[in-house]
Every structure is written in structure tokens, then in C-alpha cells.
Amino acid sequence: MHLPTTKQLKEFLKDNKKTVWLTAFATLLLYVLGIGYTLFSNGEVEEEKKIDPDTGLEVNLITSEEYAALHEGAARFEIYIENDEGSAFTNSTVLESVLLSPAVFATIDTAEKVTVAQEIEALEEGDIPAKYILDITNDPGDNSLNITVGTGDADKNLAIAAVLYDMISNKELTLLGNKSVSMLSDPHTVVIQNGPEKTEEEEDFGPVGYAVIAVAVLIAGTVLGILIALSRLFFKKEVTDVFNYRESDGDTIIDLSVFNEGNLTDELVHTIQYPSAQQKLILSDPALPAEIQGRLLKDTATNYVLASDIVAVDPKLSFDEIILVSQKHVTNKAWYKKQRTLLTNYTAPIKIVLQ
């Protein structure tokens, strides 16, 4: 297989520029319409509400800024809980639900150093989701549980953490009745690096981001257009380009289609006549125009045998050169393949002319 030259690739793109650019434009248009529909829909469709599966109430999500403010000076302590059969208790969701229960809230509210009545009421009203004030995570390394408290007030965080610490260490929670609890650390201040889940209140992607994606979509559309053009090249029945015409290093390929001129009679006659030889075979599909045949037959120095199929040529004849004349978008690929197969027996050099 002979790879196409840079010049042939340029001609291929030139011949198929309409397909390539139409595909790129259509792809970009679909992207623009999709973005427009999305932006319009976001403005018209009512925002989907998130429901807490434990309470059945609506949960109001918070932004990254609100989350950072809420966890400024957060307090944390670590514990290890073991079931009665000796396995580690790692169900942080269950423990968090118990610690967020009204009974625990009441204990916190009655603690001397903690005045969280407003915060508790705010939680019940849904202004600040409880899961952002109390967070329990499991450390898979040692199966310990990290309990973090964040209200936006460092002193209050430590006070609430101390109340929870005492309740857990004293096993005041029914959940811990049949379990052993080890307190791995006292309440201490930590810096929270993880943010909340994404919400609709986050900033939009922005015009620059959309523009960058638009450029990427345009490039992808161009590549898609080239692939479509290549598929047409390989699946079309007619000859469209000079790719893969050379089947041996001795073949000569002359692509007259690169010229933009309408009438290439002189160029075709000259290409056929040179170099001079005693006898040449010309196979063409479609047949050469009468004008060209007449000019060739006037050349008495060379005997031209004109045919549309090699099987119509006397097999006893020998030739100094065999010329295959094809017309882009007209000549059938099957015809060319047939001629090349049957010409395998011939030793004469082969010239392929594409017009």
C-alpha cells in the first residue's frame, strides 16, 4: 500500500472542503442550540428539590462559601466502636442519624456552656442542613470514626464536641448499649478541606468556558467531516481520488484533475503521447472523446490500440506502454481493479492518468 503524498492530501481536502466545512458547521450549530436550550431550560424549569430520606423533609443545600464559613474552626474527635462479636462498627450513617436526633439536640441545648437554641431551631427549619454541622466519616485504615462539628463558631464547636464526646464515652446512646467504645482522641480544632456537594447556586460555567468548548467542538466537527469524506472515498463506487492507484513501484501516476481548467484535451494528448514508443495500449473508462482519438491516430510514429476493456484486446499483441485513463467521480473502481488484475501478465510499464 502506498501512502498519499502531501500534495495528494491537499487535493483531497480541496475536493471535499464542502463536506468538511458543512459537517463542522452543523456540529457547532448543534452545540450552540444545545447550550441555548440548556440555559433557557435552567431559567424556565423549576429547580428540583432534594429530600432527606430520613426525615422526608426538603434539604436546602449550601454553597462552598457558606460551607467554608460554617466549618471555620471545626472541632473533631476520633473513636473506635466494636460490636459484641468483635467486629468493627463502621456504619457512620446510622451513628450520624442517632447524634442528629431530637434527644441529642436537647442534651446539647441544656449544656451549660453551649447556647445553640437558635442553631437547633434553624436546623429544624431547614435553613442549614444538619449534615453540614455534624459530619461522621470512617477511616478505612483502622476502621475508626471521625466525628466533626461545625457551626461557624470555634468555641461552640468545641463545646458541642465535648457534649457528644461525653455521651459516646458514657454510652448514653441506645445504639452503643451492646458495643465497646474506645475514645481515640479528645475534641480538637481541625481545618476542613473538603467542600459540600455541588449545588445550583454555584457559579455558571462562564462565557470563556463555553468559547473554549466551542473551539473544541469545531475541531471535532472538522475531524468528523474528514472522516465522512474518507468514508465516501472508500465506499463510493466511482474513482474519487488518486489514493492507492499505484500497485507497483514501476507505475507512473499523472493526476490532471489538479488543474482547474475545464478542457484538458491538450494536456491529456500530450500525457498519452510522451514518451514516444512504437506501440501503446490505451484503456479508458469512459471512452476517450472522438477529438482525442482522432489526434492520437494522426500520430503515425506510434501505433495506438484503443479499448475500454483489456479482454477486448488481442492477447497476441505486445506493447511498449500501457495507459489507463480514468475520470474522477465517473470511472468505476471495479473497472480499474479488473484491468489491473488482468494486466498482471503484461511486462510493459503502466501509466495511470486521472482526469
Asked if 257 and 350 touch (Cβ cutoff 8 Å), the reply is no
Please provide residue 139's backbone torsions phi and psi, each rounded to the nearest 5 degrees. Answer: -95, 110
* 202 touches 63 (CB < 8 A): yes
Helix (H), strand (E) at residue 199: none
pLDDT tens string, the chain, 355 residues long: the values are 456 667 667 767 777 788 888 898 899 888 888 888 777 765 444 444 555 555 554 555 556 666 777 778 889 999 999 998 889 999 998 998 898 888 887 787 776 444 443 444 444 444 555 566 788 888 988 999 999 988 788 888 888 899 999 999 999 999 998 999 999 999 999 887 654 444 444 445 677 888 888 889 889 988 888 888 777 767 666 666 655 576 777 889 898 887 866 678 999 999 999 999 999 999 999 999 999 999 999 998 999 999 999 999 999 999 999 999 998 878 888 899 999 999 999 999 999 998 8
Distance CA 229, CA 23 (A): 10
CA dist., res. 297 & res. 305, Å (int): 9
- Cβ proximity of 87 and 168 under 8 Å: no
Q: Which residues pair with 182 in a beta bridge?
A: 80
Q: Other CB atoms closer than 10 Å to residue 267's CB: what's the count? A: 15
Output the nine-digit C-alpha cell for 134: 455534624
Gap between the Cα atoms of 304 and 310, Å rounded: 14
The candidate with the shortest Cα–Cα distance to 333, out of 257, 240, 231, 228, is: 240
Question: CB atoms < 10 A from the CB of 325, how many?
Answer: 25
Please count the residues of the chain.
355
Place of cell 475545464: 262
Question: Which H or E run contains 37?
Answer: helix 17-44
> Of 255, 230, 256, 257, whose CA–CA distance to 245 is shortest?
255
247 vs 277: CA distance, rounded Å? 23
3-class state of residue 257 by DSSP: helix
**3-state DSSP assignment of residue 299:** coil
- Contact, 238 vs 332, CB < 8 A? yes
pLDDT of residue 113: 47
Which residue in the block uniquely carries the three cell numbers 506501440?
279
Would residue 55 be called left, alpha or beta, if left means φ above 0 and alpha means ψ between -120 and 50 degrees?
A: alpha
Predicted pLDDT at 4: 62
Q: How far apart are CA 269 and CA 308, in angstroms?
A: 17
Instruction: Report the interhelical angle of 117-125 vs 102-110 (nearest 10°).
Output: 160
Buried residues in 231-245 as b, exposed as e (16+ CB within 10 A): eebeeeeebbbbbeb
Q: What is the pLDDT of residue 112?
A: 47
Q: Are residues 77 and 147 in contact, defined by beta-carbon separation less than 8 angstroms?
A: yes
